[in-house]
């Protein structure tokens, strides 16, 4: 959960020092998402950026008051490789403190900005474990130009960092096709691909005995958002299919039962038998 202008594709043009001058549009988009979730009596996990919690605390309070889980998305939406271990630990602590103060309950989960917990940034697993997080959902088992660990397990497992720290890992959803992991977890993939690919991915994961992790940014329910300065390819990635996001989300909610990570965490912790080690010591 971040503002539309905090995406990595715009980072080269719109750094944190510019954010206060830009129009904030998150509140109405979140309210629309909360309405949809309430309509389907569905809970969700909101990975909230600490900057948002500092600048738009009422939005976070509304989410918590509606009964949804609040988890951490860091503070400033910086790729982990740019932060390094020390700054990452500082952001974790700061975001956890502000989110717990607003939500009134413990923050158990984390998702890295732009899924940037890669093999090169596997040290983040050790930091997450040391800081008391119970689960992570940052390791995308796909090939991508910005992120991904292609040989990572597709299903929930115990992720071990190079220093031995471990916690539950919930990979975003993929569909296994011809020996390749096709990313169908939501976000731009939901906007770009036919919604039935996401549907098939969820059914495939359920046949294997697991839930599938989907994601959506509130700004993806805001097709009227300003056009940002970024490359033509990045602009296409950011804006493709915005007007169809709500329709596709509704289609999936008609066919699948969803819930927050917190609602199934105890069972997943007990069921995750596979261990996978990331990075090198």
CATH number at 146 reads 3.20.20.370
The answer to whether 276 and 227 are in contact (CB under 8 A) is: no
Residue 187 lies in a domain: no
Residue 186 lies in a domain: no
List, for residues 201-229, the tens digit of each pLDDT value.
999 999 999 999 999 999 999 999 999 99
Residue 244 lies in a domain: no
Candidates 192, 253, 261; CA nearest to 33 is 253
3-class secondary structure for 161-205?
CCCCCEEEECCECEEEECCEEEECCEHHHHHHCCHHHHHHHHHHH
Neighbours of 129 (CB within 10 A): 19
Query: Tokens representing 217?
Result: 């940014």
Residue 109 lies in a domain: yes
Residue 197 lies in a domain: no
Secondary structure of residue 252 in the 3-state scheme: helix
Residue 193 lies in a domain: no
pLDDT at 237: 85
> What are residue 6's phi and psi, to 5 degrees?
-100, 10
pLDDT at 128: 98
Spatial strand order of the sheet with 275-277 comes to 45-48, 69-72, 109-110, 135-136, 166-169, 157-160, 275-277
Give how many domains the chain has, as a whole number: 1
Residue 69 lies in a domain: yes
pLDDT at 238: 87
pLDDT at 281: 53
pLDDT < 70 stretches in the chain: 281
Domain of residue 72 covers 4-173+257-277
Between CA 148 and CA 217 the distance in angstroms is 19
Residue 192 lies in a domain: no
Q: Characterize the bridge pairing of strands 157-160 and 166-169.
A: antiparallel
Query: Tokens representing 207?
Result: 């046949």
């Amino acid at each position: 959960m971040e503002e539309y202008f905090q995406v990595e594709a715009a980072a080269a043009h719109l750094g944190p020092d510019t954010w206060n001058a830009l129009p904030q549009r998150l509140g109405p988009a979140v309210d629309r998402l909360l309405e949809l979730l309430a309509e389907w009596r569905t809970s969700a996990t909101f990975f909230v950026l600490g900057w948002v919690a500092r600048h738009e605390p009422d939005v976070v309070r509304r989410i918590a008051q509606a009964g949804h889980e609040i988890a951490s998305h860091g503070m400033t939406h910086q790729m982990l490789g740019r932060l390094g271990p020390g700054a990452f630990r500082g952001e974790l602590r700061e975001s956890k403190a502000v989110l717990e103060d607003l939500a009134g309950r413990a923050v158990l989960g984390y998702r890295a900005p732009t899924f940037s917990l890669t093999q090169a940034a596997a040290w983040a697993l050790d930091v997450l474990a040391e800081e008391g997080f119970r689960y992570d959902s940052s390791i995308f088992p796909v090939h991508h130009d910005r992120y991904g660990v292609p040989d990572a397990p597709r299903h929930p497992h115990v992720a071990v960092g190079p220093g031995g720290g471990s916690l539950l890992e919930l990979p975003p959803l993929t569909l296994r096709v011809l020996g390749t992991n096709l990313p169908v977890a939501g976000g731009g993939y939901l906007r770009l691909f036919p919604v039935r690919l996401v549907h098939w991915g969820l059914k495939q994961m359920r046949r294997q005995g697991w839930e599938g992790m989907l994601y959506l940014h509130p700004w993806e329910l805001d097709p009227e958002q300003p056009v940002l300065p970024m490359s033509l390819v990045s602009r296409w990635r950011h804006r493709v299919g915005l007007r169809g996001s709500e329709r596709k989300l509704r289609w999936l909610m008609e066919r699948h039962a969803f819930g927050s990570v917190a609602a199934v965490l105890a069972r997943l912790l007990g069921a995750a038998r596979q261990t996978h080690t990331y990075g090198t010591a």
